Structure 1
Amino acid sequence: MKMHRVGLTTQITIGMVGGIVFGLLFGPLATTVKILGDIFLRLIQMAVILLIFGAVIEALGTLNPQDLGKLGAKTGLWFLMTTLLAATIGLGSGLLFKPGLAVHLDQLQPVGATAKATSSLNETILNFFPTNIFASLASGNVIQVIVFAILFGTVLSRANQRGQFSGLLTLVSQLNQLTVKLVMLVMKLAPISIAALMAGIVAANGSQVLLPLFQFLGIYGLATALFLVGLLTFVSWYAKVPIVGLVRGLSQIIIVAFTTTSSAVALPVEMRDAQAKLGVSKSVSQLVLPLGMALNSNGLAMYVALVCVMLTQLYHIQLTGVGLIQIVLLAVLSCLGTVVVPGGGLVALTIIVPTLGLPISSVALFAGIDWFSGMFRTVANVVGDTTTAIAVAADEHALSRDAYKSPATAPKS
């Protein structure tokens, strides 16, 4: 088989496995190649804010004002349902398997950095709204950029009913196309870059770093698998699409999410495959997927709920019904303003753990495996976003089911 015939998904998988083997064989020496992976992540991330900004404006700007409210309400409802489901599965997994009983308190050490004081609810909500959109773009504040883009796109949709601003809409659309082409160009570097990234991570941590928390990772992986199976089965039935085609269309999205642990890096692949392989219309995918990246972090909700239950077990704290509800609500709220780059899970924990009255030093327990738990988090995040887009597209009669036909049965062009 010639190399150019091997798909990108297969190349990335080979790169991931090769990177792990390289890291184990060469140890500290392998950390020197990690810079190649870091450069790759930066090249992807440099265009993400622009991609989100333009995609949301174009998606809203091309919608009929009457359809805008209905589509937004459906998207928000799906986000809420999937996030609550994920948080509940995380909570239930912690209560069932009791991972906190397998960890000793003397393993907890300070993370070496003090956590910022927890923001009040008013401050958290206020920080969603930008005072200067250029400052928000420059700092990469995803939530603030999305808020501005939603308002701008809504105004553009209302003002352009007679085509007065079609030139501006065309300009935004062309900018989006070029941005996607730029990201896809960078994605050609993915196999070797991800190999370097995995080699560096494995070499820096070593295989033994996972042993004390192997049970936690196993439980979290099982919970993620349960969530994905349930979600894919339901969406397959709801949207009336074959589950085999659904899994096939999601395969490259999952691989990229799993190996990079970044929803931001996976977003361009999501937007491309949602349209090309999963039949979602451009108008739906460009609205739902960027919003989902910032507002629908199913994997984080599950992770936070499981971690909170584990910590209460570790400190022998008995959870009441009110405490269980509090954990679920905190897990859901933590999805608002989620950091969409690797390491976002620890940031969320430094905010939520003190809120529950638990020592901030507890976060250290998860610092060493954050990259590995981030693999499961990101997969749950992107699959939740993409299946929401499929469900919304099915509701809006904007789903092409021909995309789910296998290559052997699909009509030739």
Structure 2
Amino acid sequence: MRQLKRINTNTAIVISMVLGVAAGLIGGEAMGQIQFIGDIFFRLVQMGIVPFVMCAIVVAVGGLTARDLSGIGIKGIAWFASSSILASLCGIFAATVFQPGVGLADTELVQNAATTAEATATTWQDTILGFFSSNIISSMSAGAMVPCIVFAIALGLAITFWRTAHGGSCLVFDVVQELEQLLLGIIRGVMTIAPVGIFCYVSAMVGNLGAEVLVPLLKYLLVLGGTVLVFLVVWIVVVCVRCGFNPVRLVAKMWPMSVMALGTISSAVTLPVEMEDAKRKLGLRDDIADLLLPLGMPLNSNGASIHLAVTAITIAQIYGMTFAGFDYLYLAIICTLLSLANAVAPGADIVSLTMIVPQLGLPLSSIGIFAGLTYPVGAIRTILNVDSDVFCALMVAKGEPNGINRELFDS
């Protein structure tokens, strides 16, 4: 019955997305009147996401030995960093070859581009400094996931040492473990209305977007989507070769989390489904999934890296600016670092652009060109963000004793 319910929920989400696109195209801007229902849905889910992720990290780290943490954690971070850098380079290569920004300079869309966004001046030193919070409550309120995770890891380590010194017992660990389950219950309850919320959000976005905005940027969306698709296929091949998986079975078992990512355009909202399916369907060992998947959400945004790279090159092409030599390497590093500063809610693409555009000497008004593409861009990049977290965890698990339950995967 649980499996049937999950299938029905995923089917309902896909149907709601299709109906939302149709309703947006037919109803136009009038559909914007129901966007508040979609916003309510996302707020209901997001209200527990930050504490849920922190609890999951604390429980995962606090339940590991120092040896386990160093091995699994370091390997996971290495895979995160490598895949994100490669994603940025792939985005730069694709945008340079296919030139999605060429020919857009004289279009009405570009000529009338404007934005109310303010530049976010930041250096790589500022980015790293932002990993550490001076006020964890303030960071939780702002939804800043990286400093929240750093604090959760620190608390988890303290719990590990405490349990070692006190015969494995720790009241705080037990409380956090139970709180995690309670928060997960809230999120699961809210997800029962996901099809309604997603329909309202998608229809409003498509209605406000309109064909007159979408058509000039179709090449940009195709390059972005094509690059993400190719990177995703390469990931699947690499994982299947290393782990000995059947690719069709792997894709089928990851379908629910992929649908959730497409529908909600939020890695944070997808995380509970992602963790459950990784353990119960893919056979990923519980402690590996509990540690790496929450860590991967802010630290391994392959889709965001590709999006930033493709968009930066596209804007440069629109305004006749060129990159050469080490400029591409600098851009790849910047895109990778800024992907760590991703917001956990829909609209993260605009936030990211306010960081990277000024650093490259590009006009801030160019952000207005892409302001209406929140949903399609979010859907494209989120599916890779989510799936690549699982792929990295599987690559780590392959090298660990009983890291993957093959009987569970093959069932």
Letter in 1 for 2:155: F
Offset at residue 114 of structure 1 (A): 4.4
Matches within 5 A, 1:155-194: 155-161=158-164, 162-194=166-198
Letter in 2 for 1:399: I
- Answer yes or no: is 1:281 the counterpart of 2:285: yes
Q: Which runs of 4+ in 1 moved over 6 A?
A: none
Offset at residue 123 of structure 1 (A): 3.1
Verify the 8 A CA contact 1:61 1:157 in the aligned structure 2: yes
Partner of 2:388 in structure 1? Answer: 384
Matches within 5 A, 1:104-143: 104-105=105-106, 107-108=109-110, 109-143=112-146
Q: Secondary structure at the match of 2:370?
A: helix
TM-score (norm. length: structure 2): 0.93
Verify the 8 A CA contact 2:99 2:314 in the aligned structure 1: yes
Deviations 1:197-227 (A, max 9, x none): 1111111222222011000001111111100
How much identity, in percent, do the aligned residues show? 34
Verify the 8 A CA contact 1:221 1:376 in the aligned structure 2: yes
Partner of 1:89 in structure 2? Answer: 90
Quote the Cα distance in structure 1 between the aligned partners of 2:182 and 2:220.
42
- Answer yes or no: is 1:12 the counterpart of 2:17: no
Verify the 8 A CA contact 1:56 1:150 in the aligned structure 2: yes
Offset at residue 386 of structure 1 (A): 1.3
Quote the Cα distance in structure 2 between the aligned partners of 1:41 and 1:402.
36
- Answer yes or no: is 1:351 the counterpart of 2:355: yes
Offset at residue 311 of structure 1 (A): 2.1
Deviations 1:130-183 (A, max 9, x none): 222223223322111101001111121122125353433222221111211211
The structure-2 alpha-carbon separation of the partners of 1:111 and 1:290, relative to structure 1 and needing over 3 Å to count, comes to farther
Bigger Cα displacement from structure 2, 121-130 vs 272-281: 121-130
Quote the Cα distance in structure 1 between the aligned partners of 2:321 and 2:33.
43
Quote the Cα distance in structure 1 between the aligned partners of 2:404 and 2:308.
33
Offset at residue 110 of structure 1 (A): 4.6
Deviations 1:312-351 (A, max 9, x none): 2222233211111111111111122211211111111111
Offset at residue 372 of structure 1 (A): 1.1
Bigger Cα displacement from structure 2, 160-169 vs 342-351: 160-169
Verify the 8 A CA contact 1:261 1:371 in the aligned structure 2: yes
Q: Secondary structure at the match of 1:81?
A: helix
Offset at residue 117 of structure 1 (A): 4.3
Verify the 8 A CA contact 1:242 1:404 in the aligned structure 2: no
Bigger Cα displacement from structure 2, 64-73 vs 114-123: 114-123
Letter in 2 for 1:344: A
Quote the Cα distance in structure 2 between the aligned partners of 1:221 and 1:347.
20
- Answer yes or no: is 1:54 the counterpart of 2:55: yes
1:290 to 289, 294, 303: 294
Q: Secondary structure at the match of 2:220?
A: helix
Letter in 1 for 2:159: L
In structure 2, stretches of 5+ residues that fail to align are none
1:272 to 263, 273, 276: 276
The structure-2 alpha-carbon separation of the partners of 1:54 and 1:370, relative to structure 1 and needing over 3 Å to count, comes to same
Offset at residue 76 of structure 1 (A): 0.7
Partner of 1:309 in structure 2? Answer: 313
TM-score (norm. length: structure 1): 0.93
Quote the Cα distance in structure 1 between the aligned partners of 2:87 and 2:281.
25
Partner of 2:151 in structure 1? Answer: 148
- Answer yes or no: is 1:403 the counterpart of 2:404: no
Bigger Cα displacement from structure 2, 110-119 vs 347-356: 110-119
The structure-2 alpha-carbon separation of the partners of 1:45 and 1:149, relative to structure 1 and needing over 3 Å to count, comes to same
In structure 1, stretches of 5+ residues that fail to align are none
Matches within 5 A, 1:29-48: 29-48=30-49
Partner of 1:28 in structure 2? Answer: 29
Quote the Cα distance in structure 1 between the aligned partners of 2:330 and 2:376.
26
